Structure 1
């Protein structure tokens, strides 16, 4: 995986903030592939990933003057990408739930459409908690590195290796972030609602 030159990117950010459109084009070229890899793994759909990144770079261009430290551009970009992925995929998830609800109603009316068996997946049960609005709000209150790891693992069902690649860090780092993130999240949830979310 190619390493980004943060000093070079910082110079491009400064030029972009002064209105240099060519500098922004260079920023786009230098960062697009890595953002695409993350977005594709998150969305699991090439066309949706491209749509998300179009929104991401529009947001970047509109808000780049709010970035005070140009050397933090990549971290800032990662957060915009993560938030945009999350928002778009949440909307798509709601649409899928509506379609599933219609399908379930149809199956109730016609027993021949009922599935023969239902598979039970303990990890899926944990992932299902992410439909709970208080849980999702709490996840987004966590430091970004923990929120990203938790959502990619339990909401998007990504493997540890996929998350490590997307976040450009080691396998063990992701495991530590998941463990710490779950502890922080459980503490937040207990304060808000009580009960055990992760058993």
Structure 2
């Protein structure tokens, strides 16, 4: 079973790299099989179509982000340390091999309803996890109780997503994660 899971994972990794390099429409199933080191028949044992492979690569990317944020939430560290780790994780994970989650979801001609539903579910889960982290900050007395947690979560997600995009496609020299952490924290922290 573990070998089957690894083969499936190898196919998804290979496909993701090819989608990045050549685009969805210019990537052929034969190329995915070759890059993954499997026969074309084996590829079809795991996936019925290129669309299914693309869908799974998209869902996998958002699952990785959600799981990373959940892992941070479960750590026994302070709110500010969790915020710092979330920003770092988002900067590393928010991009789908060169394309943001938002741009993938807006590309209606290749994104299936299955992907949209899964991504929206994962995003909803992420907000719940982030709200839990914010609650911890309020309990620690470092986050302003007067500001609704949902608004702080929106601020964190929006800011970190845009920050990750700027780091991934640098138009200016963004080098210090501490700057963004301080900007965020000082905006909703207790004065």
TM-score range, shorter chain: 0.3 to 0.5
Flag the structure with more relative contact order, 1 or 2, with Cα contacts below 8 A and sequence separation at least 6. Answer: 2
Higher helix share: 1
TM-score, with length taken from structure 1: 0.32
TM-score, with length taken from structure 2: 0.33
